[in-house]
Structure 1
């Protein structure tokens, strides 16, 4: 069973494994290879298996270009099946009539918008890399309910994390998700977020919003400098308090732990 067969091409393999890929697109190549060996009694190379897996993914989920073309239909379907859903996208024109180039998209599910009305006045924002044929960044805004559980509020796929993309995202949250005054906006120290949150046009300057930095990032930077795990944990615990009297109590302990860290 160590021999491959030239007629056992990636198309045949893709057709055989597509149901498996539909159930779990992350199925390892070694598992797929075992399936092929057991069924066809031939042993294709792992390279052929990975090419077949890629083809199977295209068969099940469509290719990258088709996925972007389906975006308007998908967003409209979201709005129909999730009443209250809001979305916007930006495209760039081309020289070909009827063709545009995708730039970025924003969406917020209707139930999430409604849920945020009942959440604490706190919104956490962050971004992460997207992996695939076309790179980009996923921006996410998350709320916190009364049980300290996370509530996903809004999303965006953008070309890059910068002042313009973060400003676009934050302004659309103000437009479509919430007009509540006094929301605490929490983020890391990304320069684009700082600039966007400081721009009054985006709706997050005082008194509409109060931009603060994530305590875990602050605590990690603190620990890198001072190498004191006990102080780091106490800093996080102090900043996590939701009542002033409790915050004052733990902050006093933090100061007492080592006065030089309180500056």
Structure 2
């Protein structure tokens, strides 16, 4: 399992312990590692988490998985075998990437058919005459209309890195409805975050919301990478 922070690991372990009605002790909490064990009589359960190299996530060590297999099945498992098993498990969970991405056109068609007025833009790159997924932008028709007729003229934009095995960056635009609640407007998944992808996202958003002329809005952001330069181009 992968966790964003060390505190998230601790909360997950504590929640599991409560659900199982067991006491847990954290035997070591360091900057890069976390160790915990079961305190119940005759319980030898342990869990280790380590901050992965060149990554901000904490992940249960493959070594712990190997020990568990050896204990339960009484067989020896090499590190390479453990990594291959982990890779196959992730493939089973996430699906075959070639098949998944080949279904994008069906997804786009279904969105347009079932959500009138929805804007869906799918971007691909050509690799040896084969189309490879690069980006997708979605703005549902109902949300587009809802922002125009009921939301305040302020839009927050942000981007965050996706932690799945396919990576990428999620770009989002949200508004504020009359009850001061967040109101989703549009989102996009792109391969990287830079000035070009933000310009692409903001250009589509500007067209969908018909921003300009008499219709003015205020944008709020934390100055994501390339965002200020993109605003200078799309909203001079």
Q: Do they fold alike, i.e. is TM over 0.5?
A: yes
Q: Residues of 2 paired with 1:67 and 1:90: CA distance?
A: 16
Who is 1:190 aligned against?
A: 224
Aligned with 1:109 (options 116, 137, 140): 140
Give the TM-score normalised by structure 1: 0.54
What is the 5 A alignment of 1:219-238? Answer: none
> As a proportion of its length, which structure holds more strand?
2
Question: Is the 8 Å Cα contact of residues 193 and 225 (structure 2) preserved in structure 1?
Answer: no
Who is 1:160 aligned against?
A: 192
Structure 1 residue 78 and structure 2 residue 111: aligned?
yes
Q: Residues of 2 paired with 1:42 and 1:116: CA distance?
A: 60
What is the 5 A alignment of 1:50-65? Answer: 55-56=88-89, 58-59=91-92, 61-65=94-98
Give the TM-score normalised by structure 2: 0.60
Question: Is the 8 Å Cα contact of residues 143 and 152 (structure 1) preserved in structure 2?
Answer: yes
Q: Say which one has the larger Rg.
A: 1
> As a proportion of its length, which structure holds more helix?
1
Q: CA RMSD in A?
A: 3.3
What is the 5 A alignment of 1:1-263? Answer: 55-56=88-89, 58-59=91-92, 61-96=94-129, 99-117=130-148, 118-179=150-211, 181-199=215-233, 202=234, 204-205=235-236
Who is 1:224 aligned against?
A: none
Q: Residues of 1 paired with 2:93 and 2:119: CA distance?
A: 28
Q: Report the CA distance between 1:142 and its aligned residue.
A: 0.5
Question: Is the 8 Å Cα contact of residues 142 and 151 (structure 1) preserved in structure 2?
Answer: yes
Per-residue CA deviations over 1:191-220 (Å, capped at 9, x if unaligned) read 511111111xx2x23xxxxxxxxxxxxxxx
Question: Is the 8 Å Cα contact of residues 137 and 158 (structure 1) preserved in structure 2?
Answer: yes
Name structure 2 gaps, 5 residues minimum.
1-59
Q: Residues of 2 paired with 1:57 and 1:95: CA distance?
A: 28
Question: Is the 8 Å Cα contact of residues 122 and 184 (structure 1) preserved in structure 2?
Answer: yes
Q: Residues of 2 paired with 1:146 and 1:175: CA distance?
A: 23
SS of 1:155's partner is strand
Name structure 1 gaps, 5 residues minimum.
1-27, 206-263
Q: Residues of 2 paired with 1:166 and 1:174: CA distance?
A: 12
SS of 2:226's partner is helix
